[in-house]
Amino acid sequence: MSMSGFVVHPWKVIQSSFDPEAQRFAESLMSLGNGAMGLRGNFEEAYSGDSLQGTYIGGVWFPDKTRVGWWKNGYPQYFGKVINAMNLIGLKVEVDGVCLDAARLDVVRFYRELDMYTGILRRQMALRTPQGMVSITAERFVSMADATCLALRYEVTADYHATVDIIAFLDGEVRNEDSNYDEVFWEQTDAGVVEHAQGAYLVSRTRGNPFHTPRFTVAGAFRVQTDMEYITDEARLGYAGLTFHKTIAPGEKAALDKIICVATDRDYAADDLADTAKRFVRGSAKLGYEGLKALHTAAWAAKWERADVTIEGDEAAQQGIRFNLFHLLSTYTGEDARLNIGPKGFTGEKYGGATYWDTEAYCFPVYMAVAGQEVARQLLRYRHEQLPGAYHNAARQGLPGALYPMVTFNGIECHNEWEITFMEIHRNGAIAHAIYEYTTYTGDRSYLLDEGLDVLLGIARFWLGRVHFNERTGRYMIHGVTGPNEYENNVNNNWYTNRIAAWCLDFFRYAYLDAPAQKQAQLGVSRDELARMEQVAQKMYYPVDEQLGIFVQHDTFLDKHIMPADRLPPEDRPLNQHWSWDRILRSCFIKQADVLQGLYFLGHLYDRDTKKRNFDFYEPLTVHESSLSPCVHAILAAEIGYEQKAVELYHRTARLDLDNINNDTEDGLHITSMSGSWLVIARGFAGMRTDNGLSLWPFLPSGWTAYSFRFDYRGRVINLAMDGAGVKLTLVSGPAISLRVWDETIRLEQEWTKQGDGQ
């Protein structure tokens, strides 16, 4: 048991008992999505207890004016936020006039499971009413085969003669918990009942705003398939519903299927949106619930065929990696280049829907390996399409070049914390590094030498404008930044920021010199500009401590009172929920990898001893209160031989949400950090490196008896399996390939095995 009532299972998330205090936590875990839309694990029927009702449509957001009294020049004009869309799954269920509500009736029996292999959420619940026992069975899925469709099946039984009334509805009168002063983000424009009272539709449009960004229109339509008797309907702006009735004998079912389709004006004409949604749902209804489910489960089976990771000997580790892969694949499919991977995906309001540097730094290599090269290229296209916005962001700061946003929906920065918006500029480096990852992993230089150079030039010119030359030292410096460790703001010469800036300048310069003359002419880079890039990169200042043999996190970091995090009182953790921000900023404690982030990204440039010295100094100071922290530390720990630490941190990243480690799962899942569990297995335990061809240095973690995973690499699919006897590589598809395993260069043609553990 990971938490009370939640059972560890290799393919399922199981809640075996009902706990109102854990309802939001469970709603997050049981979220569903298909890359285009998703929803939290809310009950279909009424629930008046504490809950976060959440339905989210990909690419639909709102530019909300944050109300602060310290607005400064260059500040983002708005704070972009994901907004709750209409309640699509809503049912109101009454049995003999008693509304079924688990917050008001005794819950006698409860079971809920998310089947990750099929992408289906199921629930069984028995409630005690004044007349007797009522049981419900609910099942639903968000179709992975049809981006517009979701469906649910709902059944009611009783142990006595009863009348059952079910209202199936769409409700557009929804709110965000994080809105300013109870703002409403939606206007209701149309509602109605479809022919012969078989279903209904609803159309909502985001309210007007002063920022001249697009308004979004969303239409939902549903069809009901049931043997219950239609009674009446109601349609008004913001609501559309149908009422069905049935008298049942003890043990008899009142059953209803609700098939729902969604259309938005991101893809279809706003004026015809209601008809479009109705047309979609008519087509889906012809397949029926079982037909739609069959297509959906087949689509999930195909995804798992490519992406599954197996672990033997540690069921909690197995559940963790599959849970994370399930939600990653539910959040992004690569089918729409306008979409990206929000840190909460479709599971909550906080951060949700927006794009952070998390995508390039953590998610990009995973999708490239488990979903393929074209999906990775879609993520690169997303950033290239938003390059004008990056130039706009830099200009707002009075700087040349392109500054990619910390948070965005459209390329324009929309984050409302000054220490992030103005100072966490290292995010530019992650964008460049993804281009490097794509090029070295796939061997495809076509993106680098075309659109990639556009992006890299904008980033390089930003760094040229952001550095300053220090006459005293003869070095270039970068002051007033926030590094990856957000527990320090407005520091000077953050080692990671300076290092990644210099690397970006070199990366652009080398790529530019390799580009065709026509592309060079198009970019308009002068010899003087190239020479300055080289000079800045070569003369960048880096804080170091020769005695300790470490790179110093920033100029004054070692002036702090240094103490390991394990001396903190347990009741103070997590710090961000117990300490004032002032106290956190003055402390030595590190939220996530900072110097170590650079040694992870640029690991091919540093030796093992350098990594070990820095790890030994910084990891004990790290509280891992960012979800992005454990995976980087685990990968480095595996590389330098700290196997137990690597396994410990793997569990932390793999089970962060399942075990509610940071005490915030109820807000939504940590989607982007979920990629870390795959990275730890592939880059940590399997030792995968791709900077100079493919190399592997696999070992079997203690407590595991075996593990295996497959990955796409340069037109091949390769399966790696490791157990106590040794390693086996299988070329599942594609031509033969040469690679390194441990210290040996091999030619993989079909299957290759070797005994040993790589230690």
**Of 273, 274, 228, 44, nearest in space to 151 by CA:** 44
Using DSSP's 3-state secondary structure scheme, residue 163 falls into strand
- Measured in residues, the chain has a length of 759
d(CA 106, CA 128): 5
CA dihedral 335, 341, 346, 351 (to 10 degrees): -150
DSSP 452: I
**C-alpha span between 92 and 45 (Å, rounded):** 5
CA distance linking residue 681 with residue 39, whole number of Å:
29
Q: How far is CA 63 from the centre of its chain?
A: 21
d(CA 291, CA 23): 31
CA-based R_g, the chain, Å: 27
C-beta of residue 274 within 8 angstroms of C-beta of residue 192 = yes
* Closest to 226 measured CA to CA, from 166, 302, 311: 166
- HSE-CB at 413 with a 13 A cutoff on CA atoms is 29
Give the DSSP H/E element, type plus range, for residue 155: strand 149-158
Contact 28, 665 (CB under 8 A): yes
Q: Is 571 a catalytic residue?
A: no
Which of 27, 44, 413, 486 is an active site residue?
486
| Spatial contact of 303 and 333, defined as CB atoms under 8 Å apart | no
Residue carrying the six token digits 């982030």? 597
551 in Cβ contact with 616 (< 8 Å): no
Task: Pick the closest to residue 748 from 717, 722, 703 (CA basis).
Answer: 717
Point out which residues pair with 622 in neighbouring strands: 590
Cα–Cα distance, 316 to 20 (Å, whole number) = 25
Active-site positions?
A: 486
